[in-house]
């Protein structure tokens, strides 16, 4: 282990990179973040986080102010670091496979400039086999006499909990070529390791696959309960009671069994499709063919909620619909592959007049759902609505007073597409509440529906 702490670089300062860079500075390292987007670098250099993530701005500001954390758009500025974390995006390509151009571009720009023996650490989510190809490329382009090793260290942080997941992860996966890389990474993560965070040391392909497998498993768990919701709908059973009962079995566990509108975001949908695409390239497509069903079940949830809405209002044309929630999940302003945004856009295309409220995803929501009006608070969004759709389960929606909301709307009809509201309280206030996977009683107060 070196006596001086290594200087670290973080390449790509999106969600993952910005959080990782700030987290490494928090651990006491000198860190330089690199991104090709000047406006992003400008924001971060001023301590401004260009997305919603609780606690991140405070951590970033502290370390930018102390000078321990800097940002640049120039790759030459990071060349003196000994460990380089690659955190660039791997978006979904046209055929469902991961687009690796940013990962390859980052490595090709960096490695020829390195004059010290260094470690490049992939954190981006990539298909298994990517690291092996990158390793050969690194050998071709590294300067003579300089050893550049490659490791893979996938990241498991959740949006909305990024700071805690970075500082106190539930596991650390180190895909390493040998002991030198392992020792360096153990030094970087020494604090978490000393606190007892389990470390899985493995090879590069396993590390790559662990990440895609983890997200595909989580997606499968959600789609499993949503498949059960379909059976509940057909049979009169109740998916929430079913999930609660399954969850009491510790081997199953209750987390990620919340049935509703299904998963979205920048990770689960893309990673499961990329795993299918890679497995097909490897000739083992059959092994993960079920993941296509996981995807299909998930997308069907949106159709289901739209069908429920249609049943309540008849034709959508001119109908006023209030939508609570736009982000793909609470705690985030991210609307990538957001089920809520998809539903809103489809309602708009069918002629509905949609007014939405989201505590964070306003700018992002407006950009992703043109034609949807965004209100300043839930009551304004619900004004004169014929139907209220609860599409993202922000805690503040649970705190709404059903009577107060009832006075704002034209008809007290609610679809709780996330199965997260207190149905009894809403029903007691005269609301007709519908929820996917559930057969709910009629409202206690008759005559509240116009």
Q: Parallel, antiparallel, or unpaired for β 69-72 and 83-86?
A: unpaired
Q: Parallel, antiparallel, or unpaired for β 373-374 and 199-202?
A: unpaired
Minimum gap (Å) between residue 51 Cβ and ligand UGA? 12
The set of residues, in sequence order, having a beta carbon less than 8 Å from that of 411 and lying 6+ positions away, is: 385, 386, 387, 449, 450
CA-to-CA distance for 313 and 177, rounded, in angstroms?
Answer: 60
Indicate the residue among 386 and 393 with the shorter CB distance to ligand UGA: 393
DSSP-assigned letter for residue 3: S
Indicate the residue among 2 and 170 with the shorter CB distance to ligand UGA: 170
Indicate the residue among 222 and 242 with the shorter CB distance to ligand UGA: 222
Indicate the residue among 260 and 378 with the shorter CB distance to ligand UGA: 260
- Whether 320 and 344 have beta carbons less than 8 Å apart is answered as no
Is 150 in a helix, a strand, or coil?
strand
What's the distance, Cα to Cα, between the start and end of the chain in Å?
Answer: 73
Active site residue 87: no
DSSP-assigned letter for residue 5: P
Minimum gap (Å) between residue 204 Cβ and ligand UGA? 18
Minimum gap (Å) between residue 218 Cβ and ligand UGA? 5
Query: For the chain, how many residues are written?
Result: 450
- Find tokens 């079920």 and name the residue: 290
CA-to-CA distance for 75 and 86, rounded, in angstroms?
Answer: 12
Indicate the residue among 142 and 220 with the shorter CB distance to ligand UGA: 220
Minimum gap (Å) between residue 346 Cβ and ligand UGA? 17
Minimum gap (Å) between residue 266 Cβ and ligand UGA? 6
Active-site option among 87, 232, 267, 382: 267
Indicate the residue among 138 and 227 with the shorter CB distance to ligand UGA: 227
Minimum gap (Å) between residue 393 Cβ and ligand UGA? 7
Q: Compute φ and ψ for 208, nearest 5 degrees.
A: -60, -45
DSSP-assigned letter for residue 92: B
Give exposure, 73-88, as e/b (b: 16+ Cβ within 10 Å). eebeebbebbbbbbbb
Binding site for ligand UGA (CB under 6 A): 125, 155-159, 215, 218, 222, 256-258, 260, 262-265, 267-268, 328-329
**Catalytic residue annotation:** 267
């Amino acid at each position: 282990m070196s006596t001086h702490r290594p200087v670290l670089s973080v390449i790509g300062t999106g969600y993952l990179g910005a959080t990782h860079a700030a987290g490494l500075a928090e651990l006491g390292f000198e860190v330089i973040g690199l991104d090709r987007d000047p406006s992003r670098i400008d924001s971060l250099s001023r301590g401004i986080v260009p997305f919603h993530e609780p606690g991140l701005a405070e951590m970033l500001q502290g370390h930018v102010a102390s000078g321990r954390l800097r940002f640049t758009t120039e790759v030459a500025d990071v060349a003196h670091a000994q460990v380089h974390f690659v955190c660039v995006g791997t978006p979904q390509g046209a055929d469902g496979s991961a687009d690796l151009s940013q990962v390859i571009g980052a490595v090709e720009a960096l490695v020829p400039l390195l004059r010290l023996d260094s470690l490049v650490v992939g954190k981006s989510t990539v298909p298994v086999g990517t690291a092996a190809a990158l390793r050969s490329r690194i050998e071709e382009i590294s300067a003579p006499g300089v050893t550049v090793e490659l490791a893979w260290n996938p990241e498991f942080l959740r949006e909305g909990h990024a700071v805690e997941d970075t500082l106190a992860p539930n596991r650390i996966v180190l895909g390493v070529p040998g002991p030198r890389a392992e020792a360096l990474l153990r030094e970087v993560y020494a604090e978490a390791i000393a606190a007892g965070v389990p470390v899985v040391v493995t090879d590069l392909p396993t590390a790559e696959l662990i990440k895609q497998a983890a997200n595909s498993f989580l997606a499968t768990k959600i789609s499993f309960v949503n498949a059960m919701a379909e059976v509940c709908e057909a049979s009169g059973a109740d998916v929430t009671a079913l999930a609660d009962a399954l969850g009491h079995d510790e081997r199953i566990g209750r987390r990620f069994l919340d049935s509703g509108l299904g998963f979205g975001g920048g990770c689960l949908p893309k990673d499961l499709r990329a795993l299918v695409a890679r497995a097909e390239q490897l000739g083992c497509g059959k092994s993960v063919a079920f993941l296509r069903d996981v995807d299909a079940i998930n997308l069907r949830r949106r159709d289901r909620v739209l069908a429920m809405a249609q049943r309540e209002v008849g034709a959508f044309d001119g109908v006023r619909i209030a939508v609570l929630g736009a982000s793909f999940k609470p705690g985030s302003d991210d609307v990538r592959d957001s089920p809520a945004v998809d539903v809103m856009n489809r309602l708009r295309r069918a002629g509905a007049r949609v007014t939405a409220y989201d505590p964070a995803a306003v700018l992002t929501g407006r950009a992703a759902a043109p034609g949807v009006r965004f209100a300043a608070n839930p009551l304004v969004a619900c004004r004169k609505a014929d139907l209220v759709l609860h599409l993202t389960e922000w805690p503040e929606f649970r705190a709404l007073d059903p009577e107060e909301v009832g006075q704002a709307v034209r008809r007290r009809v609610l679809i709780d597409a996330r199965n997260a509201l207190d149905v009894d309280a809403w029903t007691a206030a005269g609301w007709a509440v519908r929820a996917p996977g559930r057969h709910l009683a009629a409202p206690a107060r008759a005559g509240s529906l116009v």
